[in-house]
Amino acid sequence: MKSSFRSFRLAALMGSVLLLGTASCSKDNDPSAPESVVSAEDSGAAEDETGSLNDLVEAAAPADASLPNGAVAEPADLARVLSGCATRTWNPATRTLTLDFGTTNCISPNGVAHRGKIVAVFTGPFRQQGSTVTITLVDYFRNDNQHTGTRVIRNLGDGSYSLDVQNASVIKADGTHSWTSQRVYTRLAGQATRTILDDQYSVTGSASGTNRNRVQYSATIQQPLLKVFTPGCARFFTAGTVNIENSRGKSLLLNYDPTGTQACDNIASVTSNGRTRTIRLGGR
């Protein structure tokens, strides 16, 4: 089911940035203060990379898993995301896909600089229910920031997937953001078609971590987040709430549908200390 996994990749890449986006509350419970901005930048970069990893691995997956270094299943997609300076290898004996960008920056078609290796191990055909792919990173850098950790994607059937991010970090010159997260993408609509434009996903799960300022946080989806892929909606969650707490005893509630209309927009609300304000969520 090619379209179902592409929907999942897009959901990870475009929709989940703000699950962690205000993960650390500010010192004075002001969601616009620098502490929240730092967490938003950290988690946005982390989510963007998770989506990019999923995209690269799916595009580079083999058309025939029995052939070493054989043709890929989606050559057009691979050309869209993978640079000519990268080396792709497939080992059918161990079902291992390796994307090697080398030790100097390799610029992708979208302008992102990569170096190091992405290693993905498949338990079976990815679109087969129950199969998993485990993605690990070896001396891997994106735009000169080192990324670590493991991502495990499991096919739950009917176009649904789980995504576990384990012991992940982004190491920058001004600090390290580390986190783990668990999510389930449950497909609500679109199973019968090969287009993503009528797909809908419900997203549940939680995350926890420490931002660059060494503030610990946890984020739990209270009401499932709704992702709708009709034109104009794919970049945003149209409903759902996330409860966010940090190690300084601060908490807030992020609501993606403050009007109760499930509008396709970037309007959300943040409630903290009994005070609710409307905010606009940035996209990446």
DSSP assignment of 226-259 = EEE-STTTTTSEEEEEEEEEETTS-EEEEES-TT
Mean pLDDT is lowest, of 2-6, 43-47, 96-100, 147-151, for 2-6
Split at pLDDT 50, 70, 90, the class of 25 is: very low
Cα separation, 218 vs 210, whole angstroms? 9
Report which of 51, 1, 40, 6 is spatially closest to residue 244, judged by C-alpha positions.
40
Mean pLDDT of 257-280: 86
Please give the pLDDT value at position 244. 83
Q: Is the dihedral of CA 109, 234, 52, 80 positive or negative?
A: negative
What pLDDT does 45 receive? 64
Task: Tell me the C-alpha to C-alpha distance, in Å, between residue 120 and each of 41, 95, 137.
Answer: 27, 8, 9
Cβ neighbours for 8, distance < 8 A, ≥ 6 positions apart: 54, 153, 159, 161, 185, 201
Eight-state DSSP code of residue 92? T
Question: How much is the mean pLDDT over the chain?
Answer: 80
pTM, entire model: 0.78
Residue 70, pLDDT > 50, answer yes
